[in-house]
Structure 1
Amino acid sequence: MQSLMYISIIFGSAICWFVILYAVFVTKPTAENEHLEVRIAPVFKPNPIISEVNCSAYLNEESSEALAYTPIPLIDPPDLSMKCEDIHGRQTFVNETYPREADFPIGFVRIVYKDYLFQESELATNFNKNNTYCYVLDSSASSKFQYQIRQLAKCFPQLIVPERTFDMKSNGSNVALAQLECLKLMMDRQWRYVMFLENYDIMIKTNQELIKILELFGGVDDSGAFHDVPPQVATAFENSKNKVLAISQGTISRLTIDRIFHTMQFVKALNSTVRELESEFLINVLTNNTLLDIDTYNGKKCIDRTSATKFVKWNYGQECPSQRFHNHVCILTLIDLLSLKSAYDFTAHKVEPSYDYGAIGCWHEYMFNKQHVIGNHYVNYTFYDHLPALRWRRLQAIGRTTKFGC
């Protein structure tokens, strides 16, 4: 009998400890009440072609498995269902809002023209219900791709797709008009910064990390258009009449965009003299601001210095594991993921699903879990605090911007 009593006490103690540990590690208090609420972490849904890939091993600094990795291509299937329930069946779109996110919505303008499943997964991985996403279509996109993007937008009120398409060239022609079309449609939405992305860009900072960094920016724009561009590319770029690469590397504040639209009525002017103003808009507004006459950071002075918006590997003096290039830019593959983990940039350019979706899928899983499961959003504020734009802002606060130097 005494033995049974001891067993009962031990068993009861074990149950108590289990309840305590469960409450500490699995539940969390809510802001609305004092009781503890169980949170079931969302689950990332990988594309079936990479369901057997050991992504965690490839993202481990101490693992050598990435050296033996073979790229896994992905081609969109011809019979992909575009019903909303099937889109949600393929991806996990999390509707949960985390601390800080409700008060700091972000806008995203992305030029798209190809690889629908990649676009769908990239959106799902970084989706936040408080943000606004505008996808502007290149007229070169197939009718099927255009249909898919427009159907995707019908499933999410956060997603905007302009009716108009744009004939965008590799030299940047019409990029400004396309992105401004998105901005016009976004002006009645709430967002504090807008990021400009290209078709094959991927986010490498979570939404929570972005907010922490942009709070530090405090309204300052990040528009280092030519950061890390090799001299060979920069020279050709400077000689070009279409210097429109600049906007695709920008993270611009709502204040700047509002002044473009409302103070200068710039869109009306741009549409009337497109060829003359397109280049001026991108260089002056985003890196110089002479057209707006705003007392703000003059990025053109520091055009060759550090910015934070985009990670790019050029084919001049930088290792490219894939040995694949497009317009002098290295196509990122799985071996590059470790570099992205430690990068300070907001986005990376560029990936290629038809060459290696394995790298993309593994990165999406990593980003999804970091945002929704692991919750590690450490930010090295020192790096960002030393960016030219933020140093300029500190001088502005004390009326000493004339002392600014890159």
Structure 2
Amino acid sequence: MSTRVKIIYYDLQKTEEMDPIKNHDLYTDRDKLDCCLKIVNRSHDAPVDQVERLFRKEMLLARKVAKNCDVRKACRSYIALVGLVAAVCLYLLVANLTSPTLSLRSFRNKPDAKSRCFYAQKDEESPSIKENLLKNITFHLDDGSIAYRNKWVGFRGMEQVNCPMALAAPTLNRIYPRQINRTFTHEIMKDAQNCSYFVNKYGFGRYPRPVQMEEDFPIAFVILFHKDLDQVLFLLRAIYRPHNAYCLTVDTKSSVKLHAATRAIVRCLPNVFLSSKLEDIVYGGLSRLMADLNCFKDLMNHPVKWKYILNTPGQQFPLRTNLELVQILKLFAGTNDILGTAEADWERKRHRYVHQYVTNVTTGQLEVRPTKRRHRPLPFGMKAVKCSAYGAFSRQFVHFVLTNQLAKDVLEWSKSIYSPDEMYWGVLNYNRVDPAPGGFSGKPNENPWLSSFSEWEASQGGKLRCRSKFVRGICIFSPADLPVLVKKVYLFANKFHITHHPAALHCLDQWIYNNSVSLSFINETMYLDILKKRWKRRNSILQNL
């Protein structure tokens, strides 16, 4: 820049202060310099006052151009905004015309405050609104084709799998897809921000209205999990009914995203809630049992007056429809379905020695390990009974567990043993000191158990019957196992992995849905024959269930 231009430029900086036009700071030094260059080119020998006038003229012209540009930009932004709003409205209109309408107006209710997780927000909705939501949450579907058309049965993307063939006779696992398009936690959390959209997308209203028998016999479910939220949703959808109650309990070691997504889910389903107290689950530790007991306490205060509690992990799947579950539980006549087996010699060490939590120096995780100290025997001379962590518990039995002093003493004794969730229920159900409601007074191994079916590697012929693999001694079911599973009399099958032959879950869900729509009934004669031993040795019969 020449010396003359510099002088004019810096002199004009002073004259600019007298300019009556405001907002000179909107213009950069570059703009002012351009004006100076234009003035110098047009008047090499002009006096200063003429230069000032020329400068003002150029600056006014530049300001007008800038204003015109701003107007054009604003117009373009406004047009783009209007177009976006129109596109959203068109999308909502099309979605409303092509999707079945939910009878639920808002899914933002939660269960009552006593049943809420400790970090859930306070519910400001009135109880009457919650009751209306619980009654109206289901779709009114008479034809199962609507659920298939909306892809609410099985996994999306697996519609071409030949499930009738898989269910009819053993097939080779390699002919089925080994992977599915997973729905990850962040997607579920995003979908649950709009509850109506969430319920519609994931098909929680896919079943017809429950029959009167189902509504008169509500069931409570406890679901424990620590990962694979999409598989948990798949299970929850299969067993979901608006008149039941569902308690979800999540391992505190699970990811923050999984906890946040679970909270978002329970906000959208009025009769599903998060346990008021979550546990850090340690394999073989007391926390596994406490997770169930925490949900049991919450369910006793829940507005749904359920008859039985069924507890399940997130990797089980039902073998019976809700109507069939009701029929079977009514045949229990108030008795509990709790496994009782004789202990092996190595299993007796689980309660003969005190166990404690120890940190694994390699993994940094807590583990339960035995000490050399002998553990005191059970109070009042009660006998240890090996059981399963899963069962069907009558309401009266749950009340006994939570309030009876003997049950509290057994719980205190269980704190120092290995895997108390596989001992506590059996001790109470088969004890003769203070018989529990619905308990069994005979030999534990004579009491039939129907709650859950597993194929154990250690059982006779277990390795031959499992068609895929074992994890911790339990078979992970695959499509080749389905013909055997659908013939079982059990309530649930354990276990399935969504990452391992998901076609098994896909076809089993299709089978459960078809049976639900067709109102399939159980063979009562078969179940009566199975349960007759239990009736002879039951501790009490609870009427009006």
**TM class by smaller structure:** 0.7 to 0.9
Query: Tell me, what secondary structure is at the counterpart of 2:223?
Result: strand
User: Residues of 2 paired with 1:294 and 1:323: CA distance?
Assistant: 40
Q: Letter of the aligned partner of 1:224 in structure 2? A: L
| Aligned residue in 2 for 1:215 | 330
Q: CA RMSD in A?
A: 3.2
- 2:520 maps to which of 376, 389, 397: 376
| Aligned residue in 1 for 2:472 | 327
**What's the CA shift string for 1:36-83, capped at 9, x where partnerless?**
x9934451413223233222332234x857673353356443641332
User: Residues of 2 paired with 1:368 and 1:284: CA distance?
Assistant: 37
Note closer, same or farther for the CA distance 1:353–1:238 as it changes in structure 2 (3 Å cut): farther
| Aligned residue in 1 for 2:112 | none
Query: Tell me, what secondary structure is at the counterpart of 2:214?
Result: coil
User: Residues of 2 paired with 1:87 and 1:368: CA distance?
Assistant: 20
Note closer, same or farther for the CA distance 1:237–1:114 as it changes in structure 2 (3 Å cut): farther
Establish whether residue 82 from structure 1 lines up as the match of residue 191 from structure 2: yes
Note closer, same or farther for the CA distance 1:112–1:38 as it changes in structure 2 (3 Å cut): closer
Q: Aligned ranges for residues 320-359 of structure 1 at < 5 Å?
A: 320-359=465-504
Q: Letter of the aligned partner of 1:312 in structure 2? A: S
User: Residues of 2 paired with 1:56 and 1:381: CA distance?
Assistant: 27
- 1:127 maps to which of 222, 225, 240: 240
Larger-Rg structure: 2
User: Residues of 2 paired with 1:378 and 1:214: CA distance?
Assistant: 11
| Aligned residue in 1 for 2:175 | 68
Query: Tell me, what secondary structure is at the counterpart of 2:210?
Result: coil
Establish whether residue 43 from structure 1 lines up as the match of residue 147 from structure 2: yes
Q: CA deviation at 1:225?
A: 4.5
Note closer, same or farther for the CA distance 1:71–1:154 as it changes in structure 2 (3 Å cut): same
Q: Aligned ranges for residues 227-306 of structure 1 at < 5 Å?
A: 234-241=344-351, 246=387, 248-264=389-405, 266=407, 275-276=415-416, 281-285=424-428, 287-290=429-432, 292-294=434-436, 296-298=438-440, 301-303=443-445, 306=448
Question: Does structure 1 conserve the Cα–Cα contact (< 8 Å) formed by 2:171 and 2:480?
Answer: no
Q: Letter of the aligned partner of 2:475 in structure 1? A: C
Note closer, same or farther for the CA distance 1:365–1:87 as it changes in structure 2 (3 Å cut): farther
Moved more, 274-283 or 211-220: 274-283
User: Residues of 1 paired with 2:273 and 2:183: CA distance?
Assistant: 22
Query: Tell me, what secondary structure is at the counterpart of 1:111?
Result: strand
Note closer, same or farther for the CA distance 1:139–1:272 as it changes in structure 2 (3 Å cut): same
Q: CA deviation at 1:357?
A: 1.6
Query: Tell me, what secondary structure is at the counterpart of 1:177?
Result: helix
Note closer, same or farther for the CA distance 1:182–1:48 as it changes in structure 2 (3 Å cut): same
**What's the CA shift string for 1:250-277, capped at 9, x where partnerless?**
111111111222344956x688776159
The size of the alignment, in residue pairs, is: 351
Establish whether residue 197 from structure 1 lines up as the match of residue 312 from structure 2: yes
**What's the CA shift string for 1:66-113, capped at 9, x where partnerless?**
673353356443641332234323322236221301110011111111
Q: CA deviation at 1:327?
A: 1.3
| Aligned residue in 2 for 1:91 | 202
Establish whether residue 140 from structure 1 lines up as the match of residue 238 from structure 2: no
Q: CA deviation at 1:194?
A: 0.6
- 2:228 maps to which of 115, 121, 124: 115
**What's the CA shift string for 1:317-353, capped at 9, x where partnerless?**
2234443211100100111111121100011100011
Q: Letter of the aligned partner of 2:331 in structure 1? A: L
Q: CA deviation at 1:153?
A: 0.8
**What's the CA shift string for 1:269-303, capped at 9, x where partnerless?**
68877615957633322x32457433753367223
Note closer, same or farther for the CA distance 1:78–1:180 as it changes in structure 2 (3 Å cut): closer
Report the TM-score when normalising by structure 1: 0.76
| Aligned residue in 2 for 1:180 | 293
Report the TM-score when normalising by structure 2: 0.58
Q: Letter of the aligned partner of 2:314 in structure 1? A: N
Question: Does structure 2 conserve the Cα–Cα contact (< 8 Å) formed by 1:133 and 1:158?
Answer: yes
Q: Letter of the aligned partner of 1:248 in structure 2? A: A
| Aligned residue in 2 for 1:3 | none
Q: Letter of the aligned partner of 1:359 in structure 2? A: A
Note closer, same or farther for the CA distance 1:101–1:361 as it changes in structure 2 (3 Å cut): same
Aligned sequence identity (%): 20
**What's the CA shift string for 1:193-251, capped at 9, x where partnerless?**
11111121111111100111111111011101449xxx8xx554443248998352211
**Structure 1 residues not aligned, in runs of 5+:** 1-36, 398-406
User: Residues of 1 paired with 2:500 and 2:234: CA distance?
Assistant: 16
Q: Letter of the aligned partner of 2:191 in structure 1? A: M
**Structure 2 residues not aligned, in runs of 5+:** 1-139, 356-383
User: Residues of 2 paired with 1:245 and 1:199: CA distance?
Assistant: 23
User: Residues of 1 paired with 2:386 and 2:427: CA distance?
Assistant: 13
Q: CA deviation at 1:179?
A: 0.6
Note closer, same or farther for the CA distance 1:167–1:290 as it changes in structure 2 (3 Å cut): farther
Q: Letter of the aligned partner of 1:342 in structure 2? A: K
User: Residues of 1 paired with 2:309 and 2:241: CA distance?
Assistant: 14
Question: Does structure 1 conserve the Cα–Cα contact (< 8 Å) formed by 2:340 and 2:385?
Answer: no
User: Residues of 2 paired with 1:266 and 1:214: CA distance?
Assistant: 24
